[in-house]
Structure 1
């Protein structure tokens, strides 16, 4: 747990983490002096009617109070800075691990799935920040006041110290039992929060589907069930600690009453002074406050331990997300797959013995049935997935040896799922080319036939997920975003599936002119999109079942011929 904190605090943040406890130690030591000085005012100043002594001591107490205030403020400043910087660095680190993960969704560990990762980056990191504040302030001040108060009360009045020595062991045992009970409950509560996040995410992203099938009541019932589970688990966690603070107050208040009663008898017999009783009671109050704060710290600490374990589980996945590769991208653009196999398990292969060569400058068309592995093929080429068997090269270089930035600069992909980010049109278009000029933006927009709805207003707003654009418009902006960097290899994965046929034809014609003799891969269910490619492969059940030109495949592949017959009619078969 502490390693996580230290690894994410650097420079002044780490210095502040160590300076804050020193400041709070000074504040606690100064606070411990006040009851003794108060006792001296009563026993010396008032008893001897020495007002000069009273005033001098009172001024000293005021100076000590001001100094304690200053040290407390300094501690808060250092503590807050250390906590905030640690939280900032830790959130960035967790998100970086998530973005670097190369596993398919089905193979992602539970810790890297979106519903749990969101909770860990937000709620759990906040708990870790609270832990930093607690370690640098509460976990130093409360124990110092607690043990310092015990020591000072014994020094001031040894005859009354037995009261503390009876009360504190009782409380220590009770606190230990409560912590053992509450810690698993807080762990379960955080797990249920993950479940709630998953359900809310599904309901919000799938709102249209839910409404289309009139499933509102069903989804609300599901949500309410899990919500009640969260409420039940949370209630059990709270109930596990609910008696702790009142019991501490009860035991220590009884101890104060005992001190006043027993001390009063001793004062009457002149065994101890009134000032000593006052000092002892004040130390008891300090001990009570420290114990109460300790209870709050224990509750917070229980949550923080749970959160740190959950955060550490994400950090433990980092070793599996480190991308290999040290070489720059090669000059050539020839793509080659040699005996490539890939699947979520050996019994369920997605790609089976793929052998494919795409010479530099050639256009490749990929067509096939749904679930045949077309998109997975591209995912392997771009190293979105890495755990495969076989060899994949670009320009004669194994893609595993090429750095990811270099590989992704050489290959850009326009996906069917055309996600746009909130911001502006220019912000989205320049994702692959941050330094793109207005001329380059205009060229990409023109090829993708997005000029009709974008015009030249590249500062037009884009709402979350591009919801202020239609599906076809989002796809065209997505395609323009892939074209603008002018990559050596362009991949279009059903990138115009939501575009009308007339516009689709215009886009294809513009692409042919813009990328003549440039390596281009088109995945499509539309035969017209791929029929002019230099090479076409047909994929079924994870295998390449046929390859050749359009004319060759019409004769050699029944599957392809059937697609042509269905989409274009018999004239294209004969």
Structure 2
């Protein structure tokens, strides 16, 4: 039995290296004499690259990761302070090989040092009680069967007092074990909570390309839920089991050698050959486990995509196709599980047979030693009990190594998110102050292609200006011409491949990303409302706003429907609780409450009925007439476009025409007039 457990422990021990997550780089911007190299969007997890050793991406303080480097200037802190506070110190240094990864994994438990040390003390107590039982039972058997009193049994001991003493020892061991479980599980809950908070914070700081295209929400949620739980469980419950297994096995083997070195050596003789087979099995099992984890990730992604687009799936009666897509991923995971089951059956069947043969040999040879008087019946009984105890301990140890492997794999996914640097980075640390820094916003010879489609350039030499406070510009063009991409660049969801965007003469990359975005308000085509009250949704970008400020923003945005509701601003809403026009007006109020330097309207009326469009346009007109903010309008509706001070026509990624509404409409050769012909003819 012991040999079987040793073999299983070796089989599940960590292999030589983990699956690599390669980082590739390519140039993305050379604006203002800075050259940025950004990762070519690695998908986690990636398959093993033949011939490449594992080197995880870097999580560093004061030094960018190897996947994202500055060619000049002093690098800024790569991880936000709020996230750093959640991480152990050793996790803030560069990881190296697998040993380093294991150290970093254990470093997550450092904040729980006191609880864990207390739990380990209780573990020693319970393990000591447990391991004293076989020796005591053996001595009692000899005493009561032959009347020979061993030295360790006092003269006053009777069967009743012996049973009472053993029961008391069991009670102490049980109490210590209960305390250990409480402490370990409480520590696990706290570790998992910290992991999830830090992982969520890391996810929110990632660039849009990664969140929407590379990893996707399903993968990030999987890291928050499953991976964080596996890591936390590996560091507490499984670590406790591992330590208990080591303590129990060490004590048990020592006492077995004390009782009979010959029988113990016989039992251990078969371990080396079985262990070689176990090592090969362990490597095969690890490869299967990696493929299974990848398959589970793909399965989660497919399910998330379909369920998040349930209306589209049902509207196009695509449920059978989505079921087939999901079933294909499930079948892949199932086939891998069956392969693992077959390999496990072969290995454990063989080692189980070998273990039984060893026990049979111990009984036969041990019986001959008893008959020759070299050991007593009680000693043989103790030895066999210790064999079972040590076997159970080694079984726990194998489970510990197996869980450690899972924890390492899960921590790799969690750490890779923590360590990943967003493609959008600030080249400076200036804070954008609206009163001081607001001025002309200029696009200077911008070229841009989405990282996922590098060959499809969206903007080519695009130049445009928004001339200070009160100016309003409408961008007009065919679908796919790059109108919304301009707003994405303004918000620094992406950075241009070449060229610069400046405000008041300063490159916007010199400002911190958060301070710059805080100065911009946006009303998207399909506004997102969060679960909460209407008041909370309006104040989403300005949580310190007073109720009077919230109501004033709602009035400016024509949100008169709020006052008609029974609970008014305290009405509970969700993502789709309001109509399209109502959501648009709440979004306008949310943007206005920030008192932005620039307001971006992205197809704000394209999906509205005539009455809703009128109410939204009235709100837009009120904003434009106030001259309190610059406005950038992306629209197809003539009723919205005509309100802008200037109109820019965008074709093939560059400006082909610019002028006022009256000028462009009055020119029969105008491209704007041609694009708007159907709407102009309807007037």
Q: Distance in 1 between matches of 2:106 and 2:508?
A: 36
Rounded Cα–Cα distance in structure 2 between residues aligned with 1:364 and 1:550: 11
CA separation in 1, counterparts of 2:172 and 2:407?
Answer: 31
**What is the correspondence of 1:385-400 to structure 2 with a 5 Å cutoff?**
385-400=494-509
Alpha carbons of structure 1 residues 322 and 520: separation in structure 2 relative to 1, 3 Å? closer
Alignment of 1:320-359 (within 5 A): 320=423, 323-330=426-433, 331=435, 332-344=438-450, 347-359=455-467
Post-superposition Cα deviations, 1:359-417, rounded to whole Å, max 9, x if no partner, equal 22211211111111111111111111135322222233322122233222211111112
Contact 1:102–1:385 (CA under 8 A) maintained in structure 2? yes
CA offsets 1:242-278 (integer angstroms, 9 cap, x no match): 4555655554444334333332332232211122112
Matched, 1:48 2:144: no
Q: For 2:385 and 2:618, locate their aligned partners in 1 and report how far apart those are by CA, in whole Å.
A: 88
Of 627, 646, 658 in structure 2, the residue corresponding to residue 517 of structure 1 is 627
Q: How does 1:3-82 map to 2 (within 5 A)?
A: 3-6=103-106, 8-9=108-109, 11=111, 13-44=112-143, 47-48=147-148, 52-54=156-158, 61-82=166-187
Calculate the TM-score normalised by the size of structure 1.
Answer: 0.89
3-state SS, counterpart of residue 617 of structure 2: helix
Q: Secondary structure at the match of 1:53?
A: coil
CA pair 171-84 structure 1, distance change in 2 beyond 3 A: farther
Over residues 29-84 of structure 1, what are the superposed CA-to-partner deviations in whole Å (9 max), with x where a residue is unaligned?
44222222223333457623676235666555445434433433333233323332
- The count of corresponding residues between Structure 1 and Structure 2 is 566
TM-score of the two chains, using structure 2 as the length reference: 0.76
Select the residue among 199, 224, 232 that pairs with 1:94: 199
Query: Structure 1 397/185 Cα, relative in aligned 2: closer, same or farther at 3 Å?
Result: same
5+ long unaligned stretches in structure 1: none
Following superposition, the deviation at residue 136 of structure 1 comes to: 2.6
Is the contact made by 2:285 and 2:340 (CA closer than 8 Å) also made in structure 1? yes
In the TM superposition, what are the counterparts of 1:173-192 in structure 2 within 5 Å?
173-192=276-295
Equivalent position of 1:290 in the other structure: 393
Unmatched segments (≥5 aa) in structure 2: 1-100
Counterpart Cα distance in 2 of 1:351 and 1:157: 82
Residues 239, 400 of structure 2: 8 Å contact kept: no
The CA RMSD over aligned residues, in Å, is 2.9
Aligned residue for 1:104, secondary structure, equals: helix
Secondary structure, counterpart of 2:554 in structure 1: helix
In structure 1, C-alpha distance between the alignment counterparts of 2:170 and 2:291, rounded to whole Å: 43
The C-alpha deviation readout for 1:491-513, integer Å capped at 9, x for no partner, is: 11112222223432333333333
Aligned pairs for 1:100-249 (under 5 A) are 100-104=205-209, 110=214, 112-242=215-345
Please tell me whether residue 259 in structure 1 is matched to residue 362 in structure 2: yes
Separation of aligned partners in 2, 1:161 and 1:398: 75
What secondary structure does 2:631 align onto? strand
Q: Higher helix proportion, which one?
A: 1
Instruction: Report the CA distance between 1:333 and its aligned residue.
Output: 3.8
1:131-190 per-position Cα deviation (integer Å, ceiling 9, x unaligned): 112553121111332233222111112232233213433543343232111111111111
Distance 1:280 1:425 in 2: 72
The 10-residue stretch of structure 1 (53-62 or 83-92) with the greater mean CA deviation from structure 2: 53-62
Q: 1:481 to 1:144 in 2, by over 3 A?
A: same
Whole-angstrom distance in 1 between the partners of 2:237 and 2:640: 62
- Deviation digits for residues 74-131 of structure 1, max 9, x if unmatched? 33233323332222222222222222222536995x4x33232222222222221221
